[in-house]
Each structure stands twice: as structure tokens, then as C-alpha cells.
Amino acid sequence: MILKSLQKGFRHGSLFFVGMLGLSMVAFRCADGGDELPVKESTVLQSAVTDTVPPPDTTPVTVELIGVGDMMLGTNYPSASYLPPEGGRTMLADVEAILQDADITVGNLEGTILDSGGTPKRCNNPAACYVFRSPESYGQHFAKAGFDFLSLANNHSGDMGAAGRTKTKEVLNEQGIKYAGLAGSDEMAIIEKDGIKYGFCAFAPNRGTCDIRNIPRAEAIVRELAEQTDIVIVSFHGGAEGSSHQHVPRATETYYGENRGDVYKFSHALIDAGADVIFGHGPHVTRAMELYKDRLICYSLGNFCTYGRFNVRGVNGIAPIVKVTLDQEGVFQEGMVTPIYQMKTHGPKLDDQKRAISVLQELTEADFPETTLVIGDDGRLSKKQ
Ligand SMILES: [Zn+2]
């Protein structure tokens, strides 16, 4: 990075000038062969005299964000037999170190957290309808894994009615995890960390959540967050589901008779309104990514940690962990995809076959041939020069 090498050169330079005091110098080059330094002579000489005072830190500030898809670590409803072994402690264990390695880590909490009670939602179509209630002790698993923001905008945060929502929020508050996505009450969340303010909001087509189909309202939320914070992170749960819906259609999607939003139009509109990164999920499969106005959009991060009642066969069982580096303004710098896979018996594990990377490459090439985003075979994300 230019400023980093400049700072490094400056340090070398001031030592050099201590040794050369009394001699006149007009310019020097970086010790590592870098560019000529645009440092004024007077500044350099002053630095030589007051060498104990370190130069100002001119390293450009970058931030690292991680996004993952759906999480439901196990449900005690309708029966405790749907819970994983060891109280769910091992579910995220294999990827914890990766999830913790960012300034802010974001995921979708696909369910409710409460030990018992609540009002299970009525299902019109029991074949396509599941109700998720995770034990309250599971809140600590998300905190331990490093999650800062969780989305409650999805089709399961209302599974246990008002009691489910209240207890879920209480558990997350206890764990110091911020959340958003509930219309009227919890539409946005803000975290300040190392002098940077991060704003978070989340959308879905489901009752009680911030509506992905009401783009003007979503834009207003993003605009407000953009005014209050430095980096605006948007989560959405939208689009049709399953292996036959891996492509982004650039149109409104309907599934089981429900309008699931136009995720393309939504994402672009929110970036126009001030969003800096968009982490999508909902289709339960991985979808393409693109750069729009130098902001990263992930259209679906798939099933990330979904125990028991989820289909994790084939493409449903692979997913990316997306890490993205932004500058202070939210402009995409680079990124990394870590591919994971799940089986019925365990949570996310690193995938040696790197299937989520090749799926992302194929889908992105097919759906967004115009994008400047490059996805390397090793998962590295960069911008086409
Ligand atoms: Zn869902």
C-alpha cells in the first residue's frame, strides 16, 4: 500500500538523517526501493532533530467484514431429538477462528432462541413448514464464534410468536450481539469499534420483518444509517429456494405463492442509497456475487450452519464464508472466500474440494458477466484492473 510504504520509508529516512546530521540532503528513496518520497525537506530535517517523536500514522484505514448465511444450530421443537450432541458446542468449532478474524462478523439467525413455551406458528402447508426453537444456552455459541450482528429478518424469527422474539432478543442482548430486521422495533443496529461506526439493517418478505419488497422504506433506513455511520452493512433473506433457483433472475421471484422480492433491484437501490456491502441469503444455496459501484453484493451465502431439519444434500450443503476488506468509505478493496460444507451429522467444516468457490465462479460468470469482480481459484476476491 502506498501510504504504508511511505510511512515505512519515512521511519528509515529519519534514522538515516540522524546519522547524516549536518549534511545536506534534498531527497532520498525508500530503503526498500519504493517511490521517491514527496516529503518536504523542512519536514524531514525537523523529524531528524526530534527523532524520538514518531511520525503521524498515515496508514490508510481498512476494515474487514465477514458474512455468512443461514444459521439454526438445532431445535428443541417439536422434539429435543432435533438437537445436536454436546449442547451444540461443536457446531461452529471448526470455523470459529475464521469467523473471529475480522472487525465485524455478520450472519442470519434462522430461528428463535428460547428454552420452552412460545406460540408455534400455524402452518398452511406442513410439508414446507418448519418451526425452530433453539435452547437459550445456544446464544453463547454465536458470541464465542465472534458474531457481532445477527439478522432477525427471515421466515423463522417469528416461529414462536411474540414470546419467541422477546426471548431471542434478550439472549442476544446478554451475549452482546446486536441484531436488526424487525419492523417498527429493531430496524437498525450500530456498533462502534476502533473509531469506526458500523451500521446494520436486515430485510425479508416475512410478516413482522423489515420488508425487502418495500424498497423506498429500505432506502430510507439505509440513508439514515449512512448518515449516522461510516460503514453500512445490509443483510437480506430473499429470492426463491433450492437447487433450481441458483441464478439471480433480475426480476421479482415468487415461491410457494409468496413474493420473495427482486433481490437485484433491491441490492442496487440500497447501494445507491448508501449501503457498502450486501450479504444475501434465503435460497439455501449459494448464488453469484458482483461489484456494483465498487460495493460487494453476495446474492446468497447459502446454508451456513443448519442442523437437523435442513436439507444439506448436494449444493444445499456447501457455502462460502465471505471476508471483505473495505476502505473507510466502504469501497471494496479485496476479499477471500473460505469454502465450507455441512453434513447431516455436523456443522460447517472446511471443504478441501473448494466447491463453494467453483460454484461462485460459475454462477458469477453466468449471471454477472459484466462485473469487475474476480474470484480466484484460491477464493481470493479482487477487482479487475
Ligand atoms: Zn429462510
Burial 267-302 (b: 16+ CB within 10 A, else e): bbbbbebbbbbbbbbbbbbbbbbbbbebbbbbbbbb
Under the banding of pLDDT at 50, 70 and 90, the label for residue 179 is: very high
- Rounded percentage of the chain residues whose pLDDT exceeds 70: 86
Rounded distance from Cα 3 to ligand 1 centre (Å): 44
For the cut 60, the answer to whether the pLDDT of residue 49 exceeds it is no
Residue range 283-315, pLDDT digits in tens: 999 999 999 999 999 999 999 999 988 899 899
C-alpha of residue 8 to centroid of ligand 1, in Å: 48
Residues 62-383, CATH architecture? 4-Layer Sandwich (3.60)
What is the distance in A from the centroid of ligand 1 to the CA of 30?
54
The pLDDT confidence band at residue 103, using thresholds 50, 70 and 90, is very high
Going from the Cα of 201 to the center of ligand 1, the distance in angstroms, rounded, reads: 17
pLDDT at site 39: 43
Centroid of ligand 1 to alpha carbon of 362 (angstroms): 24
pLDDT 10s digits, 213-248: 999 999 999 999 999 999 999 999 999 999 999 999
| 271: enclosing H helix or E strand | helix 263-273
CA distance 366 to 132: 35
**Separation of CA 353 and ligand 1 centre (Å):** 26
Task: Decide if 76 contacts 115 (C-beta within 8 A).
Answer: yes
Is the CB of residue 327 less than 8 Å from the CB of residue 348? Answer: no
**Peptide bond preceding 78 in cis form (omega within 30 of 0):** yes
DSSP character at residue 249: -
Is 43 a residue whose pLDDT tops 60?
A: no
Q: How far is the CA of 272 from the centre of ligand 1 (A)?
A: 26
CA 61 to chain centre: 19
Weakest-pLDDT range from 21-25, 54-58, 116-120, 208-212: 21-25
pLDDT at residue number 42: 44
Q: 3-state SS of 67-102?
A: EEEEEECCCCCCCHHHCCHHHHCCCCHHHHHHHHCC
Query: 3-class SS at 42?
Result: helix
**Contact in structure between 183 and 211 (CB atoms under 8 Å):** yes
Is 303 in contact with 91 (CB distance < 8 Å)? no
Q: Please say whether the beta carbons of 142 and 70 come within 8 A.
A: no
pLDDT for residue 63 is more than 90: yes
341 C-alpha to center of ligand 1: Å? 18
Domain spans of the chain? 2-49, 62-383
Query: Is the distance from CB of 222 to CB of 201 less than 8 angstroms?
Result: yes
Residue 303 alpha carbon to ligand 1 centre in Å:
9
Q: Which residues surround ligand 1, an ion (CB under 5 A)?
A: 154-155
pTM: 0.85
pLDDT averaged over the chain? 88
59 C-beta neighbours (distance < 10 Å), count: 12
Q: Taking 90 as the threshold, does the pLDDT of residue 74 lie above it?
A: yes
Instruction: Please tell me which residue, 379 or 29, carries the higher pLDDT value.
Output: 379
